[in-house]
Chain A
Amino acid sequence: MSNTDFLTGKKIIIADDEDFIRTHLCKRLSETGLVALEAASGRQVIDLMEEQPDLILMDVRMPEIDGYETTRMIRSGQKSADIPIILLSALADQEDIDKGLAAGADEFICKPVTFAVILEAVTRKLDSLQIS
């Protein structure tokens, strides 16, 4: 396994309105050394932006503000415009994906996936961030 020490201490917001999914992702990602911040809605994600996260892993279909809208709001914010955003959604049509990327997401992962796929994407994003 490649060296993942650089993950340690990085902040990641994990947003999903389904408790089981959110909790599971938090637990597994915390094990890699990441600091996981939980959010059950778009609103909570916006609120957590003060924490200056390094990455956002977010469901699309959420109450109040959905993933698309939240992405757009983050991109429009001055400080948060460059934070990588990975959308993770049960919506899997090409139009949904296009919509997400158009909103400003860096990546769009369709459920169901193994944790390994998610971890790979997270690592890759944070790694490239580090290099740049």
Chain B
Amino acid sequence: MKNKLKRGQYVGRIGGQRSFGVGHRVMTIEFEGEAGSVLGGAVPGQFVQVACRDMDISRVGDPLLRRPFSIAGVRVEPGNFGEVTCLDLVYRVVGPGTRWLERRRVGDLVDVIGPLGNGFTLPEDGKAILLGGGIGFPPMFFLADELSRRGVQKVAFAGTRTVSHIEGSLKPAAIDSADVLEPTMALEEFVRSQTACVITTDDGSCGYGGSIVAALGEFLVRNPDWGDAVLYACGPDGMLKALAGFAAEKGMACQVCMEAYMACGIGVCQSCVVTVKEGTAQKYKMVCANGPVFDAARVVWGS
């Protein structure tokens, strides 16, 4: 997929934000006019680069570099002066940039570059299994929306270290479920796309106790009709590496949405490289411009 999609540098307005879990927040940024139509064209897997400081007051300041955020959802809503595109970003307060974001109020301005990167390759039919680990969950909400529009059958796995780290709004269904491997409407963000979800935690504090890949394995043993599904994943490298190994073993197609330390996010600085197989050769590819979505079978995983 060549990156010929439109993108740009735009100023949006905070439409609202709320918190969930421990320190997790979802923020909606609204865009109108050209910005709205360009960002409204975003596809699941793409991201935006957000200047986490007051760019309208000064072009310089801390943090200096933009911060990349996966797009967790896009909605076009009627506004007072034409259509408004609402972009959802999910984040956790971890440093000065996200702290700045947390303090934005409705109507505050945010400078955003996007949409960036190449999204997931989406099927027209068939089955899809969505796997989000740790902070990799937000793009799965957006992906589920799009798959739902296409009528693709889907199920999701949300894996995390412990219950308070789940990047979604946990519903009572998740806690009440007697069978931890039975997908339920466990996350509020998945209700709109009617995506049932299995929760996994490393410490067993909620849902399946163990790794997300182990849960997937058991699920597939129990539900062999999902064996021909395409795997879509985002999460820490360790999880993606384990999943890539699992997919290769089972002969399942697997697309992974990767992260790397970025400076520009727009393909010029060449900072965010990962090693990818190209024929018999291994090449550095930029996560921002060549990814962030890669075929898991082609990624050369680190140790």
The yes or no verdict on A and B being binding partners is no
Which chain A residues have a beta carbon within 8 Å of chain B's beta carbons? Answer: none
